[in-house]
Structure 1
Amino acid sequence: MGWGFHDPFLEEIERVRQLSSRISNEEATKQHLILPLLEKLGWRVNDPAEVYPEIKTRQKKRPDFVLLVDGVPVAFLEAKSARNSVIRRGKVSPTYARQLMGYCFGEGVALGILTNGVQWVLMEAFKLWTRPEERVLTMVDLRTTRLEEAANELLAFTRRNIRLYYRRFGYHLGEEPVYGFYYEF
């Protein structure tokens, strides 16, 4: 193929494309579209030390997932039903972007992921003089983007690349795992 992607990754994108029209609510979107794709992106979705659902923040909010590396929250993921567009006319939904950025601001987490399982948006929380919807690092619509191009865009969401984003700013994850979450069991 020339792109260096493993066939299982491309097959997962194709599976998401085909299955998405049969998914009708947010919970089904999380289980059948988002979590399997996160796993292909290198996240251990069955490890609560890495992907934790519905964790309560200090503001008493519950983002759909927090992604952690070495016990440190590195991104919030806000899920929407596959039937709700998070990208409209080439732009991220301002309402959803503001909701996601609110989670990030409140906890000091630099990255947020907004997705309906088919459309994926990676956003920076802390960017001066910009509205939340202007903080997009990358976005991709798996239904309308060529398969290889979609796979290339999704690489930004890998565990490795999220970790590297923080390293660019001198954060070596795991050295000081101090954060404001508490688990409710």
Structure 2
Amino acid sequence: MGVSCRGARQRLLKDLLVRRLIVSNSIVRTMGAIMSFRETVADLAKRAISAQAIAQTEEATKNAIVMPFLRVLGFDVFDPAQVIPEFVADLGLKKGEKIDYAVKIADRIEYLVEAKSVSTNLRDAQYSQLFRYFHACDANIGILTNGLQIWFFTDLEAPNKMDATPFFKFDLLAYDENDLKELEKFHKDQFSIDNIRTAASSLKYLRATMRFIEAQWNAPTEEFVRFVARDFYDGKVTSAVVEALRPITKRAFDDLFRQRARQRIDHAFDGGEEETLPTVDAEGLKIETTPEEMRGFMIVQAIASELVPVNRVVIRDAQSYCAVLFDDNNRKPILRLHFNGKNKFVTLFNAEKQSTRHDIGQVEDLYQLRDPLRSLIGHYAS
């Protein structure tokens, strides 16, 4: 009789546990459905900001950011039918090599993911293993990430051979709406390799066009000047004419940009929707954002992440200071970082645009300004 009662209790307990698990999974699925893709990415960005100070090893980066990133893309990281960690494929003479994750969609490996530590600069990273696996596994997308930046590769140049350069880069610390739209194409529920390849090709040519225009803007070539001159110069375009028109062509780029920028600023002041403008140095001087300025910016983002999505806090560098703005809006300054001189200080603004100087000994002292920063960001967000 005692044995029978124990068995009944065990069956009852098991039934209760199963029911509780079903309910828990249902809640998780419901919460996931309620949160938009934008919100899940913003939440991941908050996690990345917090993790970058402590997740210094590759394994820690994978656990803290990379696996949550795969969940943002709609994959169950604990289901080996979707995500295979430490995936092994023997490649010729190389036996037992592992790729960090192989990601399946409809029983086919579509993504191969190689993760580096959060402190790794992806420009310096070695990822030859990702190239080899891409070919051997017939995957469509290769992903290289340090948790903060995610680079996407495919085979636009030659079939089944991963391109040397990524067709899309997503930065969790600095993304916009267009980046989000591109990233969402990699979600499990949105996945279409044809759509991704079309987008990849467009992005590739867009980047190439931008590089060409920027190069001609900085230093117009003879060929480009001749091409432009054909449209308005009546005489023969000799070498002397080209040299005379070269500085005029460069100035035309500058003036055209300033006119467009002025139109957008006027439109914003007239009540229209303000567009994000790049920072331009009026004297054409090269502006370099220092590691200390980036650390200061990330600290402000970390404080802001308690109230708003981190992408609403934007860095805009200048020669004498580095500005941190809300919504990339000059009329919503948060603070200015003055780190170029011998003594470091910041200029902190309030809701009335009044500024106060705060001297700091090290970048981490910015955390002491948490309360006024939260107050100002909360005011801008309201």
Compute the TM-score of the two structures, normalised by the length of structure 2.
0.37
Match 1:101 to one of 131, 140, 158:
131
One-letter amino acid of the structure 1 residue matched with residue 164 of structure 2: E
**Whole-angstrom CA distance in 1 between matches of 2:185 and 2:39:** 18
Q: 1:21 to 1:5 in 2, by over 3 A?
A: same
Paired residues of 1:54 and 1:64 also in contact (CA < 8 A): yes
**Secondary structure in 1 aligned to 2:98?**
coil
Paired residues of 1:30 and 1:117 also in contact (CA < 8 A): yes
The alignment status of 1:154 with 2:183, answered yes or no, reads yes
The root-mean-square deviation of aligned C-alpha atoms, in Å, is: 2.7
The alignment status of 1:51 with 2:83, answered yes or no, reads yes
Paired residues of 2:154 and 2:162 also in contact (CA < 8 A): no
The alignment status of 1:67 with 2:103, answered yes or no, reads yes
Paired residues of 2:142 and 2:162 also in contact (CA < 8 A): no
The alignment status of 1:127 with 2:163, answered yes or no, reads no
Q: 1:116 to 1:22 in 2, by over 3 A?
A: same
Which runs of 5 or more residues in structure 1 are unaligned?
Answer: 170-185
1:134-174 deviation per Cα after TM superposition (whole angstroms, max 9, x unaligned): 3x22112223x14656544432432234x3115778xxxxx
Q: CA deviation at 1:95?
A: 3.0
1:113-124, aligned counterparts within 5 Å? 113-124=143-154
One-letter amino acid of the structure 1 residue matched with residue 189 of structure 2: R
Q: CA deviation at 1:125?
A: 3.6
Q: CA deviation at 1:121?
A: 0.6
Match 2:119 to one of 65, 79, 83:
83
The list of structure 1 runs, each at least 4 consecutive aligned residues, that deviate by more than 6 angstroms after superposition, is none
The alignment status of 1:8 with 2:44, answered yes or no, reads no
**Whole-angstrom CA distance in 1 between matches of 2:66 and 2:104:** 16
One-letter amino acid of the structure 2 residue matched with residue 165 of structure 1: I
**Whole-angstrom CA distance in 2 between matches of 1:6 and 1:15:** 14
**Whole-angstrom CA distance in 2 between matches of 1:131 and 1:36:** 25
Q: CA deviation at 1:5?
A: 4.1
**Whole-angstrom CA distance in 2 between matches of 1:114 and 1:14:** 20
Paired residues of 1:76 and 1:111 also in contact (CA < 8 A): yes
**Secondary structure in 2 aligned to 1:22?**
coil
**Whole-angstrom CA distance in 1 between matches of 2:145 and 2:189:** 19
Which runs of 5 or more residues in structure 2 are unaligned?
Answer: 1-35, 198-382
- Answer 1 or 2: higher relative contact order, Cα 8 Å, separation at least 6: 1
Structure of higher CA gyration radius: 2
> What is the aligned-residue identity percentage?
27
Compute the TM-score of the two structures, normalised by the length of structure 1.
0.72
One-letter amino acid of the structure 2 residue matched with residue 133 of structure 1: A
One-letter amino acid of the structure 1 residue matched with residue 145 of structure 2: T
**Secondary structure in 2 aligned to 1:82?**
coil
Paired residues of 1:79 and 1:115 also in contact (CA < 8 A): yes
